[in-house]
Amino acid sequence: MVPVIAIDGPSASGKGTIAALVAKELDFYYLDSGALYRLVALEALHKGVALDDEARVTQIALTLPASFEDGHILLDGHDVCLAIRSEACSAGASKVAVLPAVRAALLERQRAYRLAPGLVAEGRDMGSVVFPQAELKVYLMATAETRADRRYKQLMDKGISANIATLLRDLRERDARDSDRVAAPLQQCIDAKPLDTTEMTIDEAVDTVLGWWKVLKSK
C-alpha cells in the first residue's frame, strides 16, 4: 500500500503549512482536503446556492470543475487561491462540511490522491475517515488565541483586511461546528500523535513530524 501521513486538527493550527513542508521533504504528494470544501462553498456562493441546501450543494461537489496544477488551485480554469482563503469562504466551507452527502461526494475524490511514492493529507477527518489505515496520524492543536493571531497575520500578508476579535470569534464558532457535526466530526484518533504547536515554530513542528516518520520507518 502507498504510505499515508494523515495530519488533522482545527482551523489555523498549522496543518496546511506543516503538511506541505513534510510532503516536500519526503517528495510525497500533498492533499489539502479543506481546499475541496472551500471550492464547493465558493462555487455555491457564486451560483447563489444556499449553503444548507444539501441536495444542490452535493451536486456541486459531484461536478466541481476543480484542478490542482503547479501549486495553483483552479476552479473552472481560474486561479482561486486567494478567493478560497477569504473568511467568507472559510466560514462557508465549515457550513457545507457538516452535510453528510457532501462529505460522501468528496470522499473518493480525496482517496484518489493516494499515489506512489506517498501522500501527506491534511484536514479534519483524514485519520478517522478518509485514511483510517494511515501509517502515521498526527493531531495538531494550538490555543484559539494563537490560531487567531496566525490567521490574522496570514490574511494581512496577503493584503486581505481582517479583525482579530472577529477572527477569534469565528474560529471558536467553527471549532464548535466541526466538533459537533454528525458526519465525520473533528476528533483526535486514539492512535494519533498529539502535537501542540502553540509555542513551536513551523520548522520545529515539521522536524517533529519527520522525526516520528523516521522512527516509524526504521522499525
- pTM attached to this predicted model: 0.85
Residue 131 pLDDT: 96
Instruction: Phi first, then psi: give them for residue 215, nearest 5 degrees.
Output: -65, -45
Q: What pLDDT is stored for residue 66 in this prediction?
A: 85
Assign 86 a pLDDT band (cuts: 50, 70, 90).
Answer: confident
56-81: pLDDT as tens digits: 999 999 999 887 777 788 888 899 98
Residue 3 predicted with pLDDT over 80: yes
- For the chain, the structural domain boundaries read 4-199
Quick check: 30 pLDDT over 80? yes
Half-sphere exposure of 52 (CA within 13 A, CB side): 0
- Sheet containing 193-196: give its strands across: 29-32, 119-123, 4-8, 136-141, 193-196
pLDDT digits (tens, 9 = 90+) for 4-29: 999 999 988 999 899 999 999 999 99
The per-residue pLDDT for 74 is 87
Q: d(Cα 56, Cα 41) in Å, to the nearest integer?
A: 11
Q: Would you state the CATH architecture of domain 4-199? A: 3-Layer(aba) Sandwich (3.40)
> What pLDDT digit, counting tens, does each position of 105-160 carry?
999 889 988 999 999 999 989 999 999 999 999 999 999 999 999 989 888 887 87
Residue 106 CA neighbour count, 13 Å, CB half: 33
Mean pLDDT of the chain: 91
| pLDDT at residue 111, rounded to an integer | 93
User: For residues 37 and 81, what is the distance between their CA atoms, to the nearest angstrom?
Assistant: 13
Q: What is the pLDDT of residues 161-187, one digit of tens each?
A: 889 999 999 899 888 888 887 777 788
